[in-house]
Structure 1
Amino acid sequence: MSESPLNFTPFANEADVLEVGDLTVENRLDRITIAGEVDLTLDKAGLARAKLLLRLLAAAVANMEASPLPDALPPAGTQTVDNPFN
């Protein structure tokens, strides 16, 4: 497996999704959501996945360090909708 380019700018939009193994990284304007799992195996494929994750996290940290940050974000708002099956 060759090293994939990081076509993912953290906190840039509400649309980008990056997959690393079975790990999904979803871009948001105020957060990056990481869900799933990935095996960093002791082989070339595992090294490529590890480097991709390292670049992703380094880009996220650099973006955060360059931004004025609040102490904490407020909880995400929720909205209740009618059950369409009733």
Structure 2
Amino acid sequence: MGKFVPFANEADVLNIGRLMVENRVDRVTLSGDVDLTMDQAGLAHARALHRLLGEVLAKLERAELPAKLAPPVVDTVDNPFD
């Protein structure tokens, strides 16, 4: 697993099996799936997930967190193709 620092930027993407982990400054999004099989590949995937979730948990525990994250501000722009 490369250097993925949770909540550090809006660009990093990490793949563990077919599980995609997207980094954002206010969230980490997991989508897809991964099979934790009883073999060396499954062990590697489980270790990668464990490491990632440990880093996410540590970052969250160190932060002063709101009760609930406010929804993002969304700007609407005119369609340039109209």
TM norm structure 1: 0.84
Runs of at least 5 residues in structure 2 that lack an aligned partner in the other structure: none
2:66 aligned residue: 70
State whether structure 2 residue 35 is matched by structure 1 residue 39. Answer: yes
Consecutive unaligned residues of structure 1, counting only runs of 5 or more, are: none
Q: Secondary structure at the match of 2:58?
A: helix
Deviates more, 1:14-23 or 1:75-84: 75-84
Partners of 2:78 and 2:37 in 1: CA distance:
46
Flag as ranges the 4+ runs of structure 1 deviating above 2 A: 76-86
Residue 9 of structure 1, aligned match among 5, 18, 32? 5
* TM norm structure 2: 0.88
Distance apart, 1:79 and its partner CA: 3.7
Aligned identity (percent) is 56
RMSD: 1.5
In the aligned structure 2, how far is the partner of 1:10 from the partner of 1:37? 19
- Tell me which of the two structures has the higher relative contact order, counting C-alpha pairs closer than 8 angstroms and 6 or more residues apart: 1
What are the superposed Cα offsets for residues 23-75 of structure 1, whole Å, 9 maximum, x if unpaired? Answer: 10000000000000111111000000000000000000000111111111111
Count of residue pairs brought into register by the alignment? 82
